[in-house]
Structure formats: structure tokens, C-alpha cells
Structure 1
Amino acid sequence: MKTFANFINRILEKQQELNLGPDEECLFRGHSDTSYKLIPNIFRGKSYSLKSEESIFYEFRSKAMEIHDRKFSDWDILFHMQHYGCKTRILDWTDNLGTALYFALCSYQKGRKPEIIMLNPFALNAYSTQHRDFYDPDHLNHKNGYSFRGMLQRQIKDPENTKDGIWWKQPLVIYPIRKSGRLISQNGYFTIQGRDQTSIETQIEEKENIWKKVEIPEEIIPEAMTYLKLFGINDFTIFPDVPNLSALLNKKYNL
């Protein structure tokens, strides 16, 4: 019989295979179905171009009033875009398994196969650039002296630019400065796609032990939902804003 305890043991077994160091965190991500690939949403459509990516960034920066009175870098703006639904070249991760489990199950539909993805961020960065630690987003600028938008603009002028444009090819793990309530509540990290627009699974084989996937069996989903409730993981703790507080209270009191 499959149980939630069996699932946790499976997570621990896969975590061992990632060969994390004693002070190294494992990152997690939840998918509602195993068919979902580790590719940022901006690259999933058929009409992507560097120009459209630069344009959506500029318009968000120009029109999002909430950020105008705050000292936001290009990176802060990019992270806000991601959390408010704009398409970007970044993927969300967390160091909290409960948060990843929430995202895997919050829109669960019978017949789907939700999963947890596990990542050794240090191994990914070492694989991509030989720099094993998390990247400070500003350090990405320091490699060529340009902001994120500046790198996009230079890549548009010269798509083969590997110095002044998007200089990294494989995805990198970045440690954002958490200026958003959502980033704080979700213990958020990001991977940022480089010049290679294909999925992480396509770029890096599982045998490299940089990422692993664990399916969540349908039989344990009710037990997993109970776990989330017991540990106070819900819409409001993940998205701490007034609309989600209202929705949680309405649900709590069956109104």
C-alpha cells in the first residue's frame, strides 16, 4: 500500500542521489502533471523573440505603478513580473518541500500525475559555469557591465553575442533579494534560462544527478492534503495578500 510516509522516503532517497554537500540546500518545485517540462513560460509559445521579451519587460517596468516608488533593479522587476503572471525566462523554486507540494496539488485534477522536482543548485551552477555557489543576480551584470534589459538589447543587436548579451548558455540558479511578500512566504529561488531555450531535462540528462523527479501517487493525495492543512500551508500563506485571505476565510466558514 502506498502511503505518504513511503513518498517522503522516496524523496529522501532521490535527495541522496543528488550528492548535496553538508551545508548545501536542495531546491524543490511542484508540477500538477508529469508532462510539464522545466522550461520557462516565455519559451513555451510559438511567437517568442528577444524583441518581444525586451518589450514586455519595458512595458511592465513602465506601467506597474506599485514598483515606481521603490528602488527596484532590473532583477527586482523581473522577479515581480514572474510572480504576477508575466512571461519571463525564469522558473520558480523553493527550499521548502511543503511549498512545492502545495503547487503540485493546488490545481490537482483526477487522472493527472502530479510530481515533485528536486534540484541540486550547486551542481547545476558548476555544470553551467564552474561557479558552484548561488549567483547573486547583480553578479550576472558584473560579468559584462550591463543590466538585464541591457543584455537583452545587446543580444537583439547581435544574436550570437556571448559577451555583452546573455553570456550564460545553460540555466543558472540565482538567489534573489526578497523584496516581495510572495518570495518571502514561498522561500523563493529562481533558475534563469540562458541562450539555450530548451528544457533543463533536454540540456542535462538525469544521470548527471543534478535533478530528479518523484511522482505523487494518486492514492496518497488525500493524506498529502491533510499534511498541508496540518502545517498551515494554504492559499494565503503562499500568496499573502487580501484577495487570498478573503478566499481562505470564505472557504473556512463555508460561505
Structure 2
Amino acid sequence: MAYSKQWLDILDQVKEFEGNRIVWYRGQSNSQKTLHSGLFRVIDDYDGITIKEIKTIERQFYNYFLNLGYLHHNAQDWELLILMQHHGVKTRLLDWTESFAVSLFFAFQHWKPDKPACIWMLKPLLLNKKATKIEKFHNEYISKGISYTNRIDKETLNDFLDHSVALHPIRNNSRIVAQSGVFTIQGNTLDPLENEYNGELLDDNILQKIVLSEEIRNDIELYLKHSGINYFTLFPDLDGLSKHLNKSVLDKVNLIWHSASSDDFMKIK
């Protein structure tokens, strides 16, 4: 079965946005979800919360994870922040990937038929240029090498920029390597990325959103298969293998059960 014209048009849209620029991608199973980091999503739960109060929560997350989990990680500062994000702590990091196919995988997971999914595309170097006038990546967050712990200290005045910045991280675990993971780190604005600079990132073609409708679900599933993307390739550990086996084996069972005899069922490989 050939890819649909609608899907091929999306691939052309990705290529057109890219041009000769580095592009990052983020897949979301709900297209209505904003580009807020996990930490800043507390805005949705606590109406009227301030940046000072968010920083207090951030500092507690960091200190607890550092002190209570030290035997399990032996990390500090930026490396610890990335580890916190990896294990699901709410941080001001927002996950992106350098791979379009990987972003599709995350958009496809938990995608409900009644709600469109989406892919966000970002030109990270142009984002940094807009925030700092410098078109480059930094292994540490911009501001003359100030450590993360200094930034969240309550006495620090000029800690984070107002706007988000693209961060090329230390890839300190196998999952972030497999997923070609990168981050934006949210500044002190309370706006999600798409609303920063009064929406100019969208207007200036630095940020773009592709809505994925239910009609192309089969195209995406086939594209992921052709790209060799599955749970185990992106989560190269026993958890990822278990999820991959649950899906792949049961997919074969379902196919044979509905289309073949019981003798064929016993030949599943």
C-alpha cells in the first residue's frame, strides 16, 4: 500500500521548513498541549502562581533528588538536572529530538482517535540568536557559565533569561542517546514557547506546528516500521524490550487469529 498524498505533503512540509538549517522535533499525542516544560505546567494547576514560587518548587525538586537519590546517581548540577528530566521529575527542560521519526513515535503513543496529534519543529540556533544575539549551541546554559545550582539559589538575581534557549545536553544515559535527545530550557517567562515574543517565533518561521489527523494514522505506523523505530530502539533496556515484545508479539497473534487457521497460530515466530 502506497503512502497517502496527505502524508507525502507533510514530508514535503518538513523538508521545506528545514531548508539548510538544523531542526529539532517534538511529538505530542495531543495537539492542544502547549510547549510548557513540566515545571511550568504547575501554572495550570495553581492559578496566579508567580515565577518566585515556581523557583521555590524547582529548588526543592533539585535538593530532594540530589540528597535522597545520591547513592543511585552520584551526579550534581547540570548533569543531575538532565538525570532528573530523564526519570520524570518536573524540570524547566522540554524534550526535543534531532530525529523526525523519533518525534513521530512519541506523537503516535497515547494518540486518541478523537483528538489530533502534532509535531512541533524548531530551528534551535535561530531561537538562541533571538534570545542572546548569538547563533550557537552551548553545552551549558547561556550566562557566562553560571552553574545550575547558582541559578536556583534564592539569592541569585540574574539567574535565567526571560526566554527559552536551546541546549545541546550531555547525553548521560542510553535513552537520551537512542532518542537523539536535546532540550530547550525555559526561562522566567510564564508563557509557553509558542507564545514567547508575542508569537513571533511562529511568524518568523523559527517554530512550526504540524497537526496529524486520524486519516494518516496508518501512514505514520508504516513510516515508523520502515524507519525501524519501536520501544526497544528508543528505550534500550528491559522496560523497553518488554513493551516492544508485548506489542510486536500480540500484533502477530492478532493478524494470524483473524486471518489463518489454528495450525498457523502455533507457528508464530
TM bracket, shorter-chain basis: 0.7 to 0.9
Query: By how many angstroms is 1:60 displaced?
Result: 1.0
2:133 partner letter: Q
Query: By how many angstroms is 1:116 displaced?
Result: 0.8
> Are 1:250 and 2:255 an aligned pair?
no
1:84 partner letter: H
TM-score (normalizing by structure 1): 0.86
> Are 1:179 and 2:181 an aligned pair?
no
Query: By how many angstroms is 1:2 displaced?
Result: 4.5
Alpha-carbon separation, structure 2, partners of 1:251 and 1:32? 18
- Is the 1:39–1:199 contact (alpha carbons within 8 Å) kept by the matching residues of 2? yes
2:149 partner letter: R
Q: Structure 1 or 2: larger helix share?
A: 2
Identify the structure with bigger relative contact order (alpha carbons < 8 Å, sequence gap 6+): 1
The aligned counterpart of 2:155 is: 157
> Are 1:237 and 2:239 an aligned pair?
no
The aligned counterpart of 2:223 is: 227
- Deviates most, 121-130 or 223-232: 223-232
Partner of 2:142, secondary structure, is helix
Partner of 2:225, secondary structure, is helix
Alpha-carbon separation, structure 2, partners of 1:203 and 1:10? 23
The aligned counterpart of 1:125 is: 128
TM-score (normalizing by structure 2): 0.82
> Are 1:27 and 2:21 an aligned pair?
no
Aligned ranges for residues 79-228 of structure 1 at < 5 Å? 79-137=82-140, 140=142, 143=144, 146-153=146-153, 156-157=154-155, 161-162=157-158, 165-166=159-160, 168-204=161-197, 205=199, 206-228=202-224
Higher radius of gyration, 1 or 2 = 2
Measured on the aligned residues, the alpha-carbon RMSD in Å equals: 1.9
Percent sequence identity is: 31
Query: By how many angstroms is 1:186 displaced?
Result: 0.7
Alpha-carbon separation, structure 1, partners of 2:137 and 2:124? 7
Alpha-carbon separation, structure 1, partners of 2:61 and 2:134? 30
Alpha-carbon separation, structure 1, partners of 2:22 and 2:7? 22
Alpha-carbon separation, structure 1, partners of 2:22 and 2:76? 26
The aligned counterpart of 1:19 is: none
Structure 2: state its 5+ residue gaps.
254-269
2:84 partner letter: M
The aligned counterpart of 2:257 is: none
Structure 1: state its 5+ residue gaps.
17-21
- Is the 2:234–2:240 contact (alpha carbons within 8 Å) kept by the matching residues of 1? no
Query: Could you list the per-position Cα deviations for residues 25-52 of structure 1 after superposition, in whole angstroms to 9, with x for gaps in the alignment?
Result: 1111111122111111111112652111
Partner of 1:40, secondary structure, is coil
Partner of 2:119, secondary structure, is strand
The aligned counterpart of 2:256 is: none
- Is the 1:134–1:173 contact (alpha carbons within 8 Å) kept by the matching residues of 2? yes
Count of residues in correspondence between the two structures: 236
Query: Could you list the per-position Cα deviations for residues 92-111 of structure 1 after superposition, in whole angstroms to 9, with x for gaps in the alignment?
Result: 11110000001111111111
2:55 partner letter: L
1:39 partner letter: H
Alpha-carbon separation, structure 1, partners of 2:249 and 2:107? 25
1:188 partner letter: G
2:221 partner letter: M
Alpha-carbon separation, structure 2, partners of 1:140 and 1:218? 40
The aligned counterpart of 1:54 is: 59
Query: Could you list the per-position Cα deviations for residues 82-131 of structure 1 after superposition, in whole angstroms to 9, with x for gaps in the alignment?
Result: 12110000101111000000111111111111111110111100000011
